[in-house]
């Protein structure tokens, strides 16, 4: 058994250096990075991920294989070992790792991050003795690790009954992954791949994992032991191409991670949370107000479409799901269409919503999704 010491981790962190990924390039990739180690090497990264890569690099938490440009294609699939190396610095930085050494548990992997995450119960192997470090991680495997990190850090706790949202491919989820998939969905860390699908067996890319690591790091910092809300988070990806950025008194709905590109500004003191969804080519925003009402916006161009006298629970492709407490204090759900017409008052149970066909999707859309 190999011992991994904290001193080794500190030495590894000291070896890392910061660099800036410049916007640019052609097509779906952008930016070149020149470093002392690899002068002139091109780094491939999708346009949507450039800001996230820059921002996460600035935290100093980027693992060495990315810091040192051992891997330069961020659109490539991420392996199980690489994903663990992305998670470990977040826990180490926040002092959640309090042992002097960790014991490697697998005959096919002595990676320090894998040893640590195994020791504290975040990950398990593919058998009692093997981990398959070089195998591409699946989306459901990534979701399980993320959910366990949220639970381990006392950041977000979830029960399967909390969710009114259901993916259309839920039958394809592994039994051990189902609760975690909905946990990371409700925490707004990792959602679907579009059309209300999660694609649990699909691979996960490095840039998607970096984006998730960035959001996870912010969430742990911002809202320990609480469900996240937009007024408490530094930023949030709402839907394809739109972000919610907050400061002390404003929420900026922006087309980038810079508030100068905002298309809509809201007073954060008036709102509890938001939800975003791109329905076809039209991006929508639901902003829940502290008075129990909600505003629904078309973001292209930014304009208020209508107000509903309830909280918006979820924007979906065909319907807007609302919620309100009944006389007994129990949560009940209603339905609006995107023209502002009330189809059902908030008197339905979750099961009645499903039976009425309001929980599925009949078209394409994306909401707060890291799947591309």
Do 205 and 75 meet the contact criterion of CB atoms below 8 Å apart? yes
Walk me through the domains of the chain, giving residue ranges and CATH numbers. 3-209 (no CATH), 229-366 (2.40.128)
Tokens encoding 66: 């990315």
Do 86 and 209 meet the contact criterion of CB atoms below 8 Å apart? yes
81-84 contact pairs (CB < 8 A, 24+): 81/109, 81/111, 81/113, 81/114, 81/131, 81/133, 81/134, 82/137, 82/206, 82/209, 83/137, 83/142, 83/145, 83/204, 83/209, 84/111, 84/113, 84/114, 84/117, 84/123, 84/145
Q: What distance in Å separates the CA atoms of residue 344 and residue 102, rounded to the nearest whole number?
A: 55
pLDDT at 359: 62
Share of the chain above pLDDT 90, in %: 34
pLDDT above 80 (res 308): yes
| Residue 248: pLDDT band with limits 50, 70, 90 | confident
Helix locations, 205-261, DSSP H? 206-222
pLDDT at 242: 81
pTM of the model: 0.55
String of b and e for 277-303 (b: at least 16 CB within 10 Å)? Answer: bbbeeebbbbbbeeeeebbbbebeeee
Tokens encoding 30: 């952008």
Q: What distance in Å separates the CA atoms of residue 99 and residue 116, rounded to the nearest whole number?
A: 9
Do 296 and 286 meet the contact criterion of CB atoms below 8 Å apart? yes
* Least confidently predicted of 81-85, 288-292, 348-352: 348-352
pLDDT above 70 (res 122): yes
* Least confidently predicted of 25-29, 73-77, 274-278, 295-299: 25-29
pLDDT tens profile 198-225? 999 999 999 999 999 999 998 887 644 4
pLDDT tens profile 51-66? 899 889 889 999 988 8
pLDDT tens profile 147-198? 999 888 877 655 554 455 578 888 899 989 988 898 888 888 898 888 888 9
């Amino acid at each position: 058994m190999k011992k991994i010491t904290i001193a080794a981790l500190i030495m590894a962190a000291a070896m890392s250096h910061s660099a800036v990924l410049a916007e640019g390039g052609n097509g779906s990739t952008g930016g070149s990075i020149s470093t002392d180690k690899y002068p002139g090497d091109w780094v491939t990264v999708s346009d949507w991920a450039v800001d996230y890569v820059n921002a996460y690099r600035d935290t100093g938490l980027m693992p060495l294989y990315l810091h040192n440009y051992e891997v330069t294609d961020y659109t490539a699939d991420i392996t199980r070992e690489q994903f663990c190396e992305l998670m470990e610095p977040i826990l180490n930085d926040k002092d959640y790792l309090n042992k002097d050494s960790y014991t490697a548990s697998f005959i096919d992997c002595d990676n320090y991050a894998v040893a640590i995450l195994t020791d504290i119960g975040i990950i398990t192997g593919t058998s009692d003795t093997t981990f398959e470090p070089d195998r591409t991680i699946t989306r459901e495997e990534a979701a399980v690790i993320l959910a366990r990190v949220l639970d381990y850090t006392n950041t977000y706790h979830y029960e399967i009954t909390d969710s009114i949202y259901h993916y259309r491919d839920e039958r394809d989820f592994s039994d051990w992954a189902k609760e975690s998939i909905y946990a990371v969905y409700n925490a707004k860390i990792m959602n679907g791949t579009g059309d209300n699908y999660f694609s649990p067996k699909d691979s996960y890319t490095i840039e998607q994992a970096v984006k998730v690591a960035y959001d996870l790091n912010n969430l742990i910092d911002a809202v320990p032991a609480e469900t996240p809300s937009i007024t408490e988070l530094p930023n949030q990806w709402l839907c394809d191409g739109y972000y919610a950025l907050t400061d002390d008194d404003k929420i900026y709905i922006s087309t980038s991670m810079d508030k100068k590109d905002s298309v809509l500004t809201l007073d954060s003191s008036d709102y509890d949370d938001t939800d975003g969804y791109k329905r076809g080519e039209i991006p929508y925003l639901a902003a829940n107000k502290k008075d129990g009402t909600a505003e629904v916006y078309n973001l292209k161009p930014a304009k208020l479409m209508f107000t509903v006298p309830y909280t918006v629970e979820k924007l979906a492709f065909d319907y807007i799901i609302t919620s309100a407490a009944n006389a007994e204090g129990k949560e009940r759900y209603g339905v609006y269409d995107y023209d502002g017409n009330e189809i059902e008052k908030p008197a339905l149970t979750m099961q009645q919503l499903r039976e009425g066909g309001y929980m599925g999707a009949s078209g394409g859309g994306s909401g707060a999704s890291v799947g591309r």
